[in-house]
Amino acid sequence: MNTSTGSKHRIVVGVTGGIAAYKAVQLVRLLVKDGHEVHVVPTEDALRFVGAPTWEAISRHPVTTSVHDDVAQVRHVALGQQADLVVVAPATANTLAKMAAGLSGDLLGTTLLATAAPVLVAPAMHTEMWLHAATQANIATLRARGVHLIGPDSGQLTGQDSGPGRMSEPEAIHAEVGRLLAARRDLAGVRIVVSAGGTREPIDPVRFIGNRSSGRQGVAIARAAAERGADVTLVAAHVDEGVLAEVPAHIRMAHAGTAAELGARMTELAPEADVVIMTAAVADYRVANAAEHKLAKEDGAPTIELVENADILAGLVAARRPGQLIAGFAAEMPTETETVIERGVRKRRRKGADLLAVNEVGWQAGFERPDNAVAIIGPDDSVVAEARGSKREVADALLDAVLRLRG
């Protein structure tokens, strides 16, 4: 990734096979005019609409679709690794499906898999294709992974039809690129340690007491922070496999099974961190009499003795170094006497965290879902922010609150 702090960036423009490819010419012109280094990566199909000489002339860089050109420079991954932003315009239904599946059959595919930079897609297709459940599912997958979306606009499409499916105008895409480039480095140089997932407390070698945390929210925070320039370490308790697969390689990872292991990892890592975020769902109790051998029914119903685990968050607050900011999460249900916020306020005080993101859970809400809704309680017990939407959006809201508090 380009670490320059100036306003000139390295941008990859992926162009895929739709008639709107001709409008991407204007987008590339605008980006080049800004002084950015622009590399156009068309698909084979895109070249049927606008040829390589046009892209080379306006981007002033060589253009290829193949992973076999320029092999000595490892171009198939270098473009993605070095990019500050990748924009795919137009993005066809086929390309969105390939992106959602992680296919890498051409240079654009490998570039998208190799990049840790923000990705912006500008879909363009017929209305029926845009509204199809398959396309909508692919868009949801990409958004959950943090891909940014612009459009499509509604209006006249190729032929007689009109409706949603028109690619956004190049000027609008250009403005969105500018916004993403300006916004994303606001955590540069900040060292963040995030815990995610649920701990598992063994009962015997094959059984455990666990919880329904998928790790999605913690992973979303780690990814958002890394994208915004932070130096991130993710401490993963049990995290769903699919969620773990979305952690980019440049995020450092540590693993922890039990609450005690998670506590040990966090205690090791926290002294080097500017910000610590405890997103993990930590078991309050562990099994005191965990069996060395697998329990069998013929032994009779076991009595499981529980002992309390240390409160990791409170421990980190007690040991914190000056200037370190510590945030937690709490999943709460209202009671007859207290609202979710009142419970959150009490919990924040009890643990001493600077920020506590509180969400309401029930049997249906909160866990194992792509969306979340939280109220963030600040050091003075007021709600400093509310966020509702994808776990990525909630992650960004929490990171914004962290930044405001750091001043």
Nearest-angstrom CA–CA distance, 121 and 20: 13
Nearer to ligand CTP, 230 or 330 (CB): 330
> Which among 144-152, 159-167, 229-237, 278-286 is the span making contact with ligand CTP, rule CB under 6 A?
278-286
Query: Residues 6 or more apart from 3 whose CB is under 8 A from it?
Result: none
- Among 54, 214, 309, 372, the residue binding ligand CTP under the rule CB under 6 A is 309
Query: Binding to ligand CTP by residue 313, rule CB under 6 A?
Result: yes
Comparison of 140 and 310: residue with beta carbon closer to ligand CTP: 310
Query: Can residue 358 be called a binding residue for ligand CTP (CB under 6 A)?
Result: no
Environment class of residue 79 by beta-carbon count within 10 Å: exposed (0-12), middle (13-18) or buried (19+)? buried
Q: Which amino acid is at 50?
A: V
Segment near ligand CTP (CB under 6 A); pick from 14-22, 36-44, 306-314, 370-378: 306-314
- What letter does residue 251 receive in the DSSP assignment? S
- Report the nearest approach of ligand CTP to the CB of residue 284 (Å): 5
Which stretch, 32-40, 177-185, 293-301, 324-332, contacts ligand CTP (CB under 6 A)? Answer: 324-332
Choices 25-33, 35-43, 90-98, 307-315; region in contact with ligand CTP by CB under 6 A: 307-315
Nearer to ligand CTP, 24 or 312 (CB): 312
Among 341, 337, 394, 331, CA closest to 367: 331
Give the residue with the Cβ less far from ligand CTP, 112 or 259. 259
**CB of residue 324 vs ligand CTP: minimum separation in angstroms?**
15
Contact 262, 235 (CB under 8 A): yes
Residues in the chain: 407
Question: Which of 1/314 has CB closer to ligand CTP?
Answer: 314
Apex 218 CA angle, 212 and 223, nearest 5: 140
Residue 312: phi and psi, rounded to 5, are -65, -45
Smallest distance, ligand CTP to C-beta of residue 34, A: 42
Binding status of residue 360 toward ligand CTP by CB under 6 A: no
Q: Which two tokens stand for residue 358?
A: 């509180």
Give the binding range for ligand CTP (CB under 6 A) out of 3-11, 136-144, 238-246, 328-336.
Answer: 328-336
Decide if residue 328 touches ligand CTP (CB under 6 A). yes
Positions in 138-167 near ligand CTP (CB under 6 A): none
User: Of 224, 243, 278, 397, which one interacts with ligand CTP (CB under 6 A)?
Assistant: 278
User: CA–CA separation, 218 vs 279, rounded Å?
Assistant: 5
Distances in Å between the Cα of 401 and the Cα atoms of 20, 94, 351 are 39, 38, 18
Q: Report in angstroms the alpha-carbon separations of 203 from 69, 128, 302.
A: 56, 53, 10
Which of 245, 243, 195, 241 is CA-nearest to residue 222?
A: 195
Is 114 or 280 the residue whose CB approaches ligand CTP more closely? 280
* 8 A C-beta contact, residue 217 and residue 239: no
Choose which of 46, 232, 259, 397 interacts with ligand CTP (CB under 6 A): 259
Which lies closer to ligand CTP via its Cβ, residue 139 or residue 278? 278
Structural contact between residues 59 and 68, judged by C-beta atoms closer than 8 angstroms: no
Run of H or E including 355: strand 355-360
Using CB under 6 A as the binding rule, the residues of this chain from 13 to 52 that contact ligand CTP are none
Distance between CA atoms of residues 79 and 29, nearest Å: 19
Q: Which stretches within 148-208 are classed as H helix? A: 170-183
**Catalytic (active-site) positions:** 211
For residues 125 and 196, which CB has a smaller minimum distance to ligand CTP in the complex?
196
Q: Is 222 in the site for ligand CTP (CB under 6 A)?
A: no
Q: Which residue is nearest to ligand CTP (CB)?
A: 328
Residues between 279 and 298 that touch ligand CTP (CB under 6 A): 280, 282, 284
| Contacting residue, 311, 354, 360, 396, with ligand CTP by CB under 6 A | 311
**H or E element that contains 109:** helix 107-114
3-state SS class at 216: helix
By the criterion CB under 6 A, which residues form the site for ligand CTP?
Answer: 259, 278, 280, 282, 284, 309, 311-313, 328-330, 351
